[in-house]
């Protein structure tokens, strides 16, 4: 049964809960944080390839390269997964970090 549905106008918490359910349903819940970090790194490489393709830089014509949109979505999934492993609320953490960044001087 597929009960995965992301509500309209989701918060990051909603994304994190969705990823938690999808991992259980698809059999990925037992992967540890290190495995998830490696997978995130792979997705980052795929994003870079998609950007190379979109900007007409040379790429392997036989490579199966996804779209930039797809690769960013994959990265968000893995980021949520990693945050879930450490019980980190991404939205709260983002807000707290931005308050620190607002006080920095940028040149």
- Token code pair at residue 76: 């968000």
Instruction: Enumerate the domain spans of the chain.
Output: 12-102
| CATH number, domain 12-102 | 1.10.287.1080
pLDDT at position 1, please?
53
pLDDT at position 3, please?
78
pLDDT at position 63, please?
80
Percentage with pLDDT > 70 across the chain: 98
- Pairwise CA distance, residues 53 & 57, whole Å: 6
What's the alpha-carbon Rg for the chain, to the nearest Å?
16
pLDDT at position 2, please?
67
pLDDT tens per residue, range 46-71: 999 999 999 989 887 778 889 999 99
Distance in Å from the first CA to the final CA of the chain: 53
Compute the average pLDDT of residues 24-28: 96
């Amino acid at each position: 049964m597929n009960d995965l549905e992301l509500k309209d106008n989701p918060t990051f918490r909603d994304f994190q809960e969705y990823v938690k359910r999808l991992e259980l349903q698809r059999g990925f819940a037992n992967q540890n944080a290190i495995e998830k970090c490696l997978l995130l790194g792979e997705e980052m490489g795929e994003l870079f390839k998609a950007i190379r393709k979109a900007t007409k830089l040379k790429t392997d014509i036989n490579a199966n390269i996804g779209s930039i949109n797809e690769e960013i979505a994959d990265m968000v999934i893995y980021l949520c997964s990693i945050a879930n492993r450490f019980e980190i609320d991404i939205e709260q953490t983002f807000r707290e970090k931005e308050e620190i960044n607002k006080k920095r001087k940028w040149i």
